[in-house]
Amino acid sequence: MIYDVTMIIEAKDNYRECV
């Protein structure tokens, strides 16, 4: 579960960097 949360957080960070 923790891994899934971390994966989502990383995806959000990457999305912000892209934008």
pLDDT of residue 1: 65
Q: What is the pLDDT of residues 1-19, one digit of tens each?
A: 677 888 889 888 877 776 7
pLDDT of residue 2: 74
Q: pTM for this structure?
A: 0.13
CA end-to-end span of the chain:
27
Say what the alpha-carbon torsion angle 10, 12, 16, 19 is, to the nearest 10 degrees. Answer: 120
Distance between CA atoms of residues 2 and 13, nearest Å: 17
pLDDT of residue 15: 77
